[in-house]
Structure 1
């Protein structure tokens, strides 16, 4: 990866800091939900539909975690410990 945060080995050091990862997750989330809408909505109990749903929820959850860390946790830590960036 090109980002200095993405080269770190520990997950919690990376999450919420890499804009490139967040953009990729946003596109993957949108593409997955649109794909499910067109391909899986008519038969929601099929294996294909369930797998697209699981992927959509995984991408969406990881995106939510990134955004939560970026806009809630990191600013709170900076203000709590008075860290300048």
Structure 2
């Protein structure tokens, strides 16, 4: 995903800096996990349940990676 604040689409340069990506991942995680728990937690072996579960894990994992790199950049002074 490219946004106006990011000058390059290189993944290593954008991770932890792209606020648009972080907000999108936050919203997707906040929508995805309750949806999975409400609709598919009782049938965890169905295809729809597994697909939504993996999408939610991907959203949350990428958000976590963004936040870890953001904290690391703030602590080391690399902006």
TM (normalized to structure 2)?
0.87
CA separation in 2, counterparts of 1:3 and 1:75?
A: 22
Q: CA RMSD in A?
A: 1.6
- Structure 2: 5+ residue stretches without partners: none
Runs (4+) off by over 3 Å: none
Q: Which residue of 2 aligns with 1:22?
A: 22
TM (normalized to structure 1)?
0.81
CA separation in 1, counterparts of 2:51 and 2:26?
A: 18
Work out the number of aligned pairs and report it: 78
- Name which one, 1 or 2, has greater alpha-carbon Rg: 1
Q: Which residue of 1 aligns with 2:75?
A: 76
- Structure 1: 5+ residue stretches without partners: none
Q: Which residue of 2 aligns with 1:54?
A: 54
- Where relative contact order (Cα < 8 A, 6+ residues apart) is larger, the structure is 2
Structure 1 residue 9: deviation in Å? 2.1
